[in-house]
């Protein structure tokens, strides 16, 4: 059942996930579409998340937005600094300014980064973890990981884990999606695009998630199946409502491997699945290995924190001897 409506306020609204948004031409959502979207959310009892571009919106738009309870997702480079300080989520599209940004405990932060930048600059995150309420790291080129990258990633997780352990011992409660989420979860916590949330774009159409709006539309000039699979599509509009084709494919219970997996912190990004495997419910080998490296690091972190005293006594992460569930699919 759909519970959330993501509203892209402009074609250049910041990306907060794996998908890129390279659009530079402003295309502000028409004010009447914004109002209709809010009305739709009210009628369907949906929670709204507004995704902002870098520039300051006209006052008329701010007034309309404030007519409903919502969550604000803004870029770290947002022009309106006062609104940025009030936002629920601040997104960094690179590491620039990360060392001087004023982090607070009442905001969540997202860092979108390439693996190369992450490998070179991960130590900067130690300082962020001391101040930020929550930090989500999103690897934007996860599909390019190889064996050496997996080894580097594992060692980096071990280093960050030691910092988090130290903070917990000091009585703090740091949150880093790569390491702390799995300790707290009992079920898969995937993005659930197309199931519990959909996106309203400036064109007045609904999409599974922002990534599919940012892809070009199928126009009949495609030469291969891959060309078709990399192109976007809408799933309805404000006038006719949602029309999701084969909606069961977005659900966890129709993902044979994922539904039995316990790397609960994995986001199972629908767009990334489709990009790498041509199936919305099937992740790539690289996604699975990265998620299980995180899962195993969370297991070790949980054990290490417990050496200092009782901690999450009702949570357990069992040891496993594989990194890709597909390799042991028979047991699933």
Using pLDDT thresholds of 50, 70 and 90, give the confidence band for residue 244: very high
Using a pLDDT cut of 90, give the percent of the chain over it.
90
Structural domain includes residue 85: yes
Q: What is the mean pLDDT of residues 267-286?
A: 94
Q: What is the mean pLDDT of residues 21-47?
A: 97
Q: Count of alpha carbons within 13 Å of 189, Cβ hemisphere only?
A: 15
Q: Is the pLDDT of residue 217 over 90?
A: no
Structural domain includes residue 279: no
Between 257 and 306, name the one with better pLDDT. Answer: 306
What is the structure's pLDDT at 221?
61
Q: Is the pLDDT of residue 122 over 60?
A: yes
Structural domain includes residue 275: no
Structural domain includes residue 16: yes
What's the chain's average pLDDT? 93
- Candidates 50, 98, 44; CA nearest to 76 is 98
- Candidates 111, 108, 56; CA nearest to 81 is 56
Structural domain includes residue 239: no
Q: What is the mean pLDDT of residues 318-332?
A: 85
Q: How many domains does the chain have?
A: 1
What is the structure's pLDDT at 226?
47
Other CB atoms within a 10 A radius of the CB of residue 282 amount to: 19
Structural domain includes residue 301: no
Structural domain includes residue 32: yes
User: Domain span at residue 8?
Assistant: 4-184
What is the structure's pLDDT at 214?
84
Structural domain includes residue 166: yes
């Amino acid at each position: 059942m759909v519970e959330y409506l993501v509203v892209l306020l402009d074609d250049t609204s910041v990306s907060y996930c794996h998908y890129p948004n390279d659009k530079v031409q402003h295309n502000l959502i028409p004010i009447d579409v914004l109002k209709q979207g809010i009305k739709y959310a009210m009628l369907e009892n949906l929670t709204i998340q507004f995704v902002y571009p870098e520039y300051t919106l006209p006052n008329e738009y701010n007034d309309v937005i404030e007519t409903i309870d919502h969550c604000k997702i803004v870029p770290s480079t947002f022009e309106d600094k006062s609104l940025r300080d009030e936002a629920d989520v601040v997104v960094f599209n690179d590491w620039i300014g990360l060392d001087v940004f004023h982090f607070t405990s009442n905001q969540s932060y997202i860092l979108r980064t390439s693996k190369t930048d992450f490998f070179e600059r991960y130590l900067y995150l130690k300082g962020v973890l001391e101040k930020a309420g929550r930090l989500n790291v999103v690897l934007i080129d996860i599909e390019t990981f190889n064996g050496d990258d997996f080894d580097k990633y594992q060692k980096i997780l071990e280093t960050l884990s030691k910092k988090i352990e130290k903070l917990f011992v000091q009585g703090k409660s740091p949150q880093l999606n790569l390491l702390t989420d799995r300790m707290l979860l009992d079920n898969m916590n995937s993005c659930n695009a197309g199931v519990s949330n959909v996106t309203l774009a400036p064109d007045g159409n609904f999409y599974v998630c922002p990534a599919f709006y940012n892809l070009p539309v199928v126009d009949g000039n495609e030469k291969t199946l891959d060309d078709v699979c990399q192109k976007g599509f809408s799933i309805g509009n404000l006038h006719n409502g949602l029309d999701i084709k084969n909606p069961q494919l977005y659900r966890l219970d129709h993902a044979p491997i994922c539904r039995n997996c316990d790397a609960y912190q994995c986001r199972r990004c629908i767009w990334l699945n489709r990009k790498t495997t041509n199936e919305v419910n099937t992740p790539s080998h690289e996604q699975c290995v990265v998620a299980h490296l995180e899962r195993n690091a969370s297991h070790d972190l949980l054990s290490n924190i417990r050496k200092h005293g009782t901690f999450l006594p009702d949570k357990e992460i069992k040891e496993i001897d594989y990194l890709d569930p597909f390799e042991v699919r028979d047991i699933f």
